[in-house]
Amino acid sequence: MQQATPTVPAGGGAPPPAGTAILNNLPLFWEGFKITVALGVLALLLALILGVIFAVLRSVPVRPLRAIGTAYVEFFRNTPLLVQTFFAYFGLGAAGIRLPAFTAAFLALGVYTGAFVTEAIRAGILAVDRGQYEAARSLGLSYVKMMRYVVLPQAFATTVPPLGNLAIALAKNTSLASSIAVADLLYNANLINSRTFATYEVFAFVGLCYLAITLPMSAALGQIERRLTRYR
């Protein structure tokens, strides 16, 4: 399969009119856009799953489990995503575990964001009024039933805004995958820029592409928040 190469107008003479670099290379931008979205969706799913698991681990009254949860959060929240991405690709590679670039990228992004999701969900759980726990206990609900029917649904309302923020941050963080040669939006933008040198146009357009991903997310988030707080 031949890899796509950017289209460049013939050399020599005056620079081509503004916008040519974008229009000639729309297919390449689209390919990058698809990879960015795929990366974001997979990483978000991983982050949500890890977030729920570790938030519960940090909340149960069993100390070793809580310690595992704390270790996960403290380590992956406090190291830079770029370092984690390089580690997943080159670091593990040196140890013999050769992950393909896309896999390394979405794993690093998912695990990193998962640490933040854990804290967001845990904050939601903590925000539920003490009285709710006492009322649930007095009704005779077991720990699991209490979490499932009383605490977690109420925690959800508090968790949604921070989760929305994390999802938007994740969408932008997908751009770091370009540093390990994942053919995402930023990687292709760099490629097109290096052939056409239309730097301002290319990166302004890429900025708009990322906005096209994050603005709808913001709007959806606003809608969900409005629905949840309707009766407050």
Partner 1 sequence: MRLSKRALLRGVAGLTGTVALAACGQAGGSSAPAALPTFAPGSYMAKIVQRGKLVAGVKQDQPLFGYLNPRTNQLEGFDVDIVKEIAKALFNDASPSRLELKPVTSASRIPLLQEGGIDIIAATMTITDERKQQIDFSDVYYLAGQSLLVKKDSPTTKIQDLDKADKTVCSATGSTSEQNITKFAPNAQKVLFAGYADCVTALQQGRADGVSTDDIILAGFAAQDPTLKLVGGQITTEPYGLGINKSSTGFLEFVNSTLRTMKTNGRWKAIYNQWLSSIGPAPEPPK
Contact residues for partner 1, defined by CB under 8 A: 1-3, 5, 8, 11-12, 15, 90, 93-94, 98, 101, 179-181, 187, 190-191, 193-195, 197, 199
SS3 (DSSP) at 15? coil
Report CA dihedral (196, 198, 201, 207) to the nearest 10 degrees: 70
Q: Which is nearer to partner 1, 79 or 194 (CB)?
A: 194
* C-beta of 93 vs 162, nearer to partner 1: 93
Considering the complex, what minimum distance in angstroms separates the CB of residue 211 from partner 1? 22
Identify which of residues 11 and 64 has a Cβ nearer to partner 1 in the complex.
Answer: 11
DSSP state of 3: P
CB of 21 to partner 1, least distance (A): 12
- Smallest distance, partner 1 to C-beta of residue 1, A: 6
d(CA 133, CA 191): 56
Q: State in angstroms the smallest separation of the CB of 9 from partner 1.
A: 10
Whether the CB-CB separation of 195 and 6 falls below 8 Å is answered with yes
Query: In angstroms, rounded to a whole number, what is the distance separating the alpha carbons of residues 180 and 188?
Result: 13
Give 3: exposed, middle or buried? Use CB within 10 Å, 0-12, 13-18, 19+.
exposed
* Residue where the block lists tokens 């995402």: 184
4 or 123: CB nearest partner 1: 4
